[in-house]
Amino acid sequence: MTEIDKELVEILDVEKILNEISPVNTEVSREIVNNIDLSEVKDKIIFIADDSMVARNQVKKALTPLGVPIEMAKNGREALNRLTELAQETGDVTDKVGLLISDIEMPEMDGYTLTAEVKAVNELKNLNVVLHTSLSGVFNEAMVNKVGANDFIAKFHPDELATAAKKWLGIK
């Protein structure tokens, strides 16, 4: 709750409420996680950017069985800052990060802007980006292509997400 213009305003976390009432299945099928070869991934991480703590944790739970370390940020600005830090250590963020999975609607910097910024910076541009969102439609697919994202996945299908992560990480 907060006060705006001497009026009390209540803000609800709809994703959290829905997750408490009807939890999302975050389990990935065994076929997807069995016999994973992580030799191509080495010491790379999956980076998740989502403003919803519930959504970040759902993605993390779904991808943990892949065996790749995960780092998370709560908005696009925080993600871009951290990715830039990681890139400064080696000159190319892909030496440390194998994949960025980002929500589209976030405060401070949305997923479209984050993706466009990543693709515009030499040290970040080779990073594969998957936009993972509850938004759908032709407009969003056009924006995904315009900003240079590698993939677009609707929330929340753990098998689809894990399969895309394996594809863009180069996991066999």
Between 111-120 and 138-147, two packed helices, what is the crossing angle to 10 degrees? 20
Per-residue tens of pLDDT for the chain, all 172 residues: 778 888 888 876 766 676 677 666 677 787 777 777 777 777 899 999 999 998 999 999 999 999 999 999 999 999 999 999 999 999 999 999 999 999 999 999 999 999 999 999 999 999 999 999 876 655 577 788 899 999 998 888 889 999 999 999 988 7
Query: Mind listing the domains of the chain with CATH numbers?
Result: 24-169 (3.40.50.2300)
The pTM of this model reads: 0.83
Percent helix, strand and coil across the chain, each rounded to 5? 45, 15, 40
